[in-house]
Structure 1
Amino acid sequence: MASGTITGRLRPLATEAGLLAILFAFYKWGRTVIEHGPGQAMANAHRLWGFERQWLPSEIDLQRWALGWDHTAFLANVYYVGVHFPGTALLLVWLYVRHRPSYGRVRNELVVLTAAGLVVHTLFPLAPPRLAGVGAVDTMLAVGPSAYPAAADGIANQYAAMPSLHVGWALLVAVAVVRTSRSRWRWVVALHAPVTVLVVVVTANHYWLDGIVAAVLLAGSMALVAAAGRVRRVRRARQRPVPVTAAPLQARDERDEELVAA
């Protein structure tokens, strides 16, 4: 195969890989830059906790039940730290290699969801349950491994619990796989979403509402991407030249000849 052909095939892949690397880097950087400190985040946490208790079960009760099993804290920490980024990246690679027509849609949904999440982080700083003084156990501090350093200046802002992009990305993975694949194994992959919801609560990194808001943002992102796709298709259809068939031209020429003969 000619080197030009190889380069032509690898260039789109390299471009997509670069774009995704920028997205992940922006996600990490954005959550660090929008550091608000504990004051407003703790106040918001206490208000949210009181609001949740009016209609949602307690995250603390679920955590206490789950931690009654051996190694639950460690396994939940490993899942929280080790699956979030790799799982999402693996989905994108799978789509790009095996289901290219679906890749662009899911990539755009991920970008819009992440951008919306960063906006909410900025507008509503929120301390997670493990830092809010509501009685939750900080499993990452207790047994590790931890996604966060001792200070909130590392890979992510610890006071940006709302929304849970762990849940949002996991839901996107589940929806994309179920929507794209016809294999029975797609339902196994889809379990990543409920498992992630359980993990973020057991590790006391998120409240129920963090996941609910992430799901709403994902639905909005999907609707926005779908609407943009419809607009692009309409524009392409309008710009496409209308083919002129030979039959009408021939009929017109025959009519002209008849008029001349008459």
Structure 2
Amino acid sequence: MPPRASTLQARLFPQGYVDLGRQLLLFAAAYYAYRYTRGWVNTPESAAAAFDNARALIDVERALNVFIEPGVQALLAGNQWVLDAASWVYINAQTTVTLGCLVWIYLFRNKSFYFVRNMFLTAFFLALVGYVLYPAAPPRFFPEWGFHDTVEDFTNIPQDSVTIDALFNPYAAVPSMHVGFSLMIGWPLAILCKHRPVKIFWATYPLLVTFVIVVTANHFLADAFLGALTAGAGAIVALVLAQLRPVWAFRGDPEADDAVAVRVPSAATEPAAA
């Protein structure tokens, strides 16, 4: 194989075709597990429980004097461009941004990908348990508290429409995996990227996402806090797995990854990551 083609193959398939297929299957299984739980909890009984649970969260936040979400929305009500930008980020954060970052880490920082993968899958599993055991309605379902659905305004598609409801669980607010995913993407990229402005962006990305979920009335601060705890639990499990299987450890040296990427991995010298 010509050297240039070998380099391209090494970049696109850092651990070979089988490994790429394995990662795709794992994330596909996670997605369909989410779809399964969506159908499981999307019932009239769960809907009633979701509204009761959300009201309980409001009561807790009010007791702690942190129920600031309606005030944040009211403060920005006249800044339509801020609301539209926040709505765009909310829509894309879980899909385009997260998936794009996972692909980039797999292709360009492959040695760290398996730690990030294990962290993601663990946190996602914990989130699914939370969605089943504690369904919760998002703030946008409580206009009596002054909440307004900015994403619906931005897209002109109601978030409780048949199309949206078929894809997403409307009562999967606790924990907020917008925040969880932003931490599990932002923290690794703040380490793995080489340029300081990019590092700063990814380091502050979770704060941006937390602002977005509040200003769009899609999560309470309590949801964000629990999402961060879920991401932390995923990181702890990933660390334990890395101790058991060192090839799954996080490698925070982008220069070393760039050096490895220019050669074709050899099964005789590099153990399979799996």
- Same fold per superposition (TM over 0.5): yes
Pairing 1:148–2:155 present: no
Q: How does 1:187-226 map to 2 (within 5 A)?
A: 187-226=200-239
For 2:33, the equivalent position in structure 1 comes to 26
Q: Does 1:139 align with 2:150?
A: yes
Give the conservation status (yes or no) of the 8 Å contact 1:125–1:162.
Answer: yes
Tell me the residue number matched to 2:51: 42
Q: 1:1-262, aligned counterparts within 5 Å?
A: 1=1, 9-37=16-44, 38-55=47-64, 56-132=66-142, 133-144=144-155, 146=157, 148-151=159-162, 153-184=165-196, 185-233=198-246
Q: Distance in 1 between matches of 2:20 and 2:231?
A: 26
Aligned-partner residue type, residue 173 of structure 1 = I
Indicate the percent of aligned positions where both proteins have the same amino acid: 26
Using a 3 Å threshold, how does the CA distance of structure 1 residues 147 and 168 change in structure 2: closer, same or farther?
Answer: farther
Contact map agreement 1:31 1:118 (CA 8 A) in 2: no
Structure 1 residue 138 displacement after superposition: 1.5
Q: Using the TM superposition, give the Cα deviation of residue 29 of structure 1 relative to its aligned residue in structure 2, in angstroms.
A: 4.1
| Letter paired with 2:58 | W
The offset of 1:116, in angstroms, is 0.4
CA offset digits 1:3-45 (Å, max 9, x no partner): xx86983332233233323323433443343224421111111
Letter in 1 for 2:148: V
Q: Is the 8 A contact 2:58 2:67 kept in 1?
A: no
Tell me if the contact between 1:74 and 1:145 (Cα under 8 Å) persists in the aligned partners: no
The answer to which of 74-83 and 31-40 deviates more is: 31-40
Shift of 1:178: 1.9
State whether residues 31 and 157 of structure 1, in contact with CA within 8 Å, keep that contact through their aligned partners in structure 2. yes
Give the C-alpha shift of residue 189 in structure 1.
2.6
Q: Which runs of 4+ in 1 moved over 4 A?
A: 5-8
Number of paired residues?
231
Measured after TM superposition, the shift of residue 146 of structure 1 is 4.8
2:259 corresponding residue in structure 1: none
Q: Normalising by the residue count of structure 1, what TM-score does the alignment of the two structures yield?
A: 0.79
**Amino acid aligned to 1:204:** A
Q: Secondary structure at the match of 1:85?
A: helix
Unaligned runs of 5+ in 1: 234-262
For 2:33 and 2:157, locate their aligned partners in 1 and report how far apart those are by CA, in whole Å: 21
Point out where structure 2 has 5 or more consecutive residues left out of the alignment: 247-274
Letter in 2 for 1:136: F
Tell me the distance in 2 between the aligned counterparts of 1:146 and 1:63: 20
TM-score, length basis structure 2 = 0.76
User: 1:134 Cα deviation (Å)?
Assistant: 2.3
1:194-218 C-alpha deviation (Å, 9 max, x unpaired): 1111111111010001010011111
Q: Which has the higher contact order (CA 8 A, sep 6+)?
A: 2
- Higher deviation after alignment, 88-97 or 99-108: 88-97
Distance 1:193 1:66 in 2: 20
Deviates more, 1:120-129 or 1:71-80: 71-80
**Mapped partners of 1:59, 1:101: distance in 2:** 40
What is the RMSD computed on CA atoms of the aligned residues? 2.3
**Quick check: 2:37–2:132 contact (8 Å CA) kept in 1?**
no
Q: Deviations over 1:108-142 (max 9, x none)?
A: 10000111001011111111111134220112233
